[in-house]
Structure formats: C-alpha cells, structure tokens
Structure 1
C-alpha cells in the first residue's frame, strides 16, 4: 500500500469531517515526518516500530506535548485506515502511548495588571481586540475570524460561528467592551471585507488581521508594560474573574466553549478569592457556635 496515496485520502477524509485548516495542516506535517522516518509499508508497522519512533523524537529533544501531538496524528491516521479503508487489522499506536505532561495552573492577570496594560494600548482597534478577550473570553483564532455580521450591538452579544472543534456559541459583552467596539466600528473604513478587525499598515492594509498579527500586538504591549501576558492569559483572566464573582462553572463552561467541565474546573485552583470568601464565611459560623 502506498503511504502517500493513503495520506492524501486521509486528508480528504478530514476535510469532509470539516476539521479546521490548522488541524489538518498539523496532522499532515506529523504524517509526513513519520512517512519519511518509517522504512516499512504502513500495514506492516508494529507497536515496536511506534516505540522506536517515539525514541527518535525524544532524541531530537522535542517537547512531550509535541510528541503526543505526533502520536495523536498517527493514531488517527491508523484509525482511518482500519475503519474506513479496511487496510489494516489493528492500530499500532495504542492509547497508552503518550508522554506524561505537566499540568500547570492557568495563568491570569491581577486586576491592576490588566488596567496597567490597557494604559499602553492607544490603538482603537487593539483596545477592541483585547477587550473581547478579557471580557468575553474569546480565543485569538475566534477574534481573527470575527465578521461584522457576528456582532449584535443591540442585544450585546456575539455569535461565534466556528469555535474550537467547529462548535458555535453565543457570548455576551460588557459595557466597556461595547464602548470599545463602537469606537472601532465607527473609525473602521467601509470596505467590502467582512472581517471585523483589519490590518492598518503595510502591504496587507485593509485585509483581515491574522492570528499571528494579533499575537504580535499583545507581545508588543507586554514588552511596553513589562507585564508578562499572552492572548490566552486574557481568556484565563476572564474565567477567573467570573469564578471570583460567584458565577457557576457550567455558565463559564458555556461562555468559554469548553467541551468538558473538567477543563473549566482547573480555574477553581487559581480562583483563590472565592475560596478565601467561603473559608472566612464558614469560620465565622464555626466560631459563633
């Protein structure tokens, strides 16, 4: 069986499943590297070959997360060969084949840090972008994909057509985010481009801003303010602030677009203010008895 043909067929299969472009690209890169390394027909690959491939990735000093992503890609490919093409009898990449990852707590900004960063953001566009992340918990990809038609100013909500895993959801925005959006939309030149946030300088002026373009802006403000911050830090900050304000986990899960409640529960570990309030409340009761 020709591995190149099978990978091309797998790529078409992923497209039919409506997988994100970035996901497909990463899968193809992983499979390309695996195809270059392996010197056997794909139907003859065994568990031992996969273990040897893991060792080769470790020798390259790749991060455990990167290695696990590679294994996920190969596992998915063999699932396709087994279930769709009936080309192999079993999957050589067992579920237990992954490296243990550290699970650092989500990083978030203190209120005064967020205020300090916004002192350095003079651009009307950038203020709107980062307000959306801080108040709505949007992922950077979701901000880059926003269109004018997705913003409902009257209802104070935004329709995310295609979030992570191609899932849509509705999020709501605060008064300061509304003000930032209004200011930007009024200043935004009327162009045929439906993308909400546009490049303002250079050869790509007038086109939709990219994910990397947004990341570079937050890196710029991080350097200017001397506060370590990323786009995802703003999202984490929103989740932590909502928890501290007493919002239910299920509500935060819906707003962030988490498919599993366990992902949202990780914020409980950094939401110390809420724990502190509950502790003192309980202690008051104990001491009064």
Structure 2
C-alpha cells in the first residue's frame, strides 16, 4: 500500500473533522471541494470551529455541541452580538483546552478568519437552496459586522517584509550553505542532533534550495511526486491554490541540490516501490508540510534569522524582481491571481523616497 501524500493526509483530516460540524457546513465543504484544496478547507474548519464555539460560549446558543447548532440561530443572530466576534478574536480564548489559555491574533489573522466566515455565509445566502428552492439564509448578519483592520500602504508592507527575509543574493547562498554543511559546525551539537542532521542533510538542503529557487508554497513542495519533475527543462508541475496545474521553473542550483537528494532517496529512506512522494521521512513516509515548516524554522533559528517557509518564498520573489524588473513574470511564476499581490515586491529595497528627501538638503 502506498504511503499517503500530503494531500491524502489533509483530505483524511478534513473528512474526520467535518463530522463535528452541522449539515450545512458539510454541504459548504462538499460544494467548495471542486475549487479549493483539502488544506484550504481544513483551515476553514478550524476558523469555523472558533466561531461556532463562540456562538455557544458567548452568543447564547443553547446547544452543547457545534454539530447541533441550527441554521435558524445564524439567521437570527443579533447584530450587536455579532459585532463583538472580531473583538473576541483579538485575544482568542482556547476553549478546547483543559488549561485556560489565550491566543492573541494579528489583524491579518482576524481578517483571514472573517473572510472564511463570509465565504460560508455567502454560500448559505446566495448559492445553497432548500427543498423549496429558497436560500438557506435570507439574512446575512456577517456582512453587517464592522471590522476595519489598520490599513498599511504598499511601501510600509514592503519595508516590513524586507526585515523578515534574506535580503541579498549573498545571504541566500549563505543560508543554503549553512543548511548544506555549516550546521554541523555549530558548537554544542550532541550526537543525536548531529546524526539527525547527517541523515537528512541532502533532503533538507534540497527543500530549502527548491523554495529559494522557485518560490513554491510549502503545500506545493509537500505534494510533489517523482513524476512532477522535468529534469531536462528544470520545471515542476504543481497544483496551485485554485486547483490550477502549473509548470514552474527552478534554478540550476536547485537542480544540483535535488539531484544530490535523489542520489540518497532510495537507500537512505527506503520507500516502497509504489511510493511516489518526492520528499520522504524515515521509513519511506511522505514528508508533511508541517514537518517542512518546523525544519525550516529549526535551521533558520540556528542560523540567526528566524524564517518561515513563506519568508523564503518572499525572498525568491524579491530576488526575481530585482533581476528582471518584470512584475508580470514574477506574478506568473508565483501563481498569483491578482497583480496587486505581486506589486509589493516592486517596493522592497526601494529608497526613492529617502533619496528625494535627502535631495531637499542637497545631500545625494
């Protein structure tokens, strides 16, 4: 039996978790499954779990279980009560924990959770119908919630990103080299950590090198199979967020690191003949995106600049734009649906404003 891929794992988790939700959420997930990945839908369910849990704990819903919350309760939810939900998210209580914990959410996280909620309510009001061909919801209270996050202009956003990425070609290669060899030179590494590193050095270097040389999302890397890579053309076939398949180029440096990993993939990880997942863990199992995220964080923390996988993607995009000055090319390679998403990279490292102000003083 082949080992499950990342997509298979997400799909299993999705259809396990959906059992905890009302029938109308199940219908929503089934409807969206044609256009959204299991990973995205699973993220929606985690957001809905917070909202439905809040309905029970804070909004007066008489149900004990999320699954039992009736549709009419959403229909009749008082606007003043609904307006308090974003405030609840600012410091979100971990109601599912035996120990009382709180989690502070950023404005971006709150906006994302509200967007997921709006998607559900929009479906119930505008797409789903009952047996009489009437909308499941006629009143959509979520559209009336007032939540306005602080607006950040594109230059400010670019400045924030710049401080969180590898900001030069030299620093990109320095980090790659650290993962490929210099990590083993760290003082204080015990035998267990050194053994773990030596066992996975080629794989980890290949993953980081691929993201830095292609800008792939972590989920796209985790779902790669052996057949997705065209070695001669240096391209990988990935499934983007919208389920659109796209052939994405990767760098020569990435190819060399991927080939080095392939030289040890079979002997080191011993996958079954039917296993097609490209990146593996001990025992021949497909490496998950969570494991990849933790791996990148482990190396980057040791390197001295805490980086997420997404920051590596930002790094690639920034370097690609600096090299080409072509936003359309960067948009296509990254798989952005909207040009405005890509526009931020045109402002990273832009010191035009500073030079203009300095010029006022006669300083060039």
**Alpha-carbon spacing, 1:66–1:177, altered in 2? closer, same or farther (3 Å):** closer
**Matches of 1:208 and 1:147, distance apart in 2:** 10
**Matches of 1:172 and 1:25, distance apart in 2:** 29
Which of 73, 77, 83 pairs up with 1:51? 83
Which of 165, 169, 191 pairs up with 1:111? 169
**Other structure's SS at 1:228 match:** coil
Equivalence map 1:1-289=2 (5 Å): 4-15=22-33, 17-36=34-53, 37=55, 38-39=59-60, 41-58=73-90, 60=92, 61-83=104-126, 84-85=128-129, 86-94=135-143, 97-101=146-150, 103=152, 104-105=157-158, 106-107=161-162, 108-109=165-166, 110-122=168-180, 123-160=201-238, 162-189=239-266, 191=272, 192-199=274-281, 201=282, 205-272=283-350
- Residue in 1 that maps onto 2:10: none
**Matches of 1:245 and 1:27, distance apart in 2:** 37
CA deviation digits over 1:124-154, x for unaligned, max 9? 1112111111111111111111111110011
Aligned-residue Cα RMSD (Å) equals 2.5
**Other structure's SS at 1:188 match:** helix
**Matches of 2:276 and 2:177, distance apart in 1:** 29
**Matches of 1:46 and 1:22, distance apart in 2:** 32
CA deviation digits over 1:66-117, x for unaligned, max 9? 3223322222222121121212223212277433146432333122222222
Instruction: Give the drift of 1:33.
Output: 3.0
- TM score, norm. by length of structure 1: 0.83
- TM score, norm. by length of structure 2: 0.67
Residues 125 and 184 in structure 1, CA contact (< 8 A), matched pair in contact too? yes
**Alpha-carbon spacing, 1:95–1:10, altered in 2? closer, same or farther (3 Å):** same
**Matches of 2:84 and 2:144, distance apart in 1:** 16
For structure 2, the 5+ residue unaligned runs are: 1-20, 62-72, 93-103, 130-134, 181-200, 356-364
**Other structure's SS at 1:81 match:** helix
Q: How many residues align?
A: 269
- Residue in 2 that maps onto 1:284: none
Instruction: Give the drift of 1:258.
Output: 0.7
**Matches of 1:81 and 1:132, distance apart in 2:** 41
**Matches of 2:172 and 2:51, distance apart in 1:** 43
For structure 1, the 5+ residue unaligned runs are: 280-289
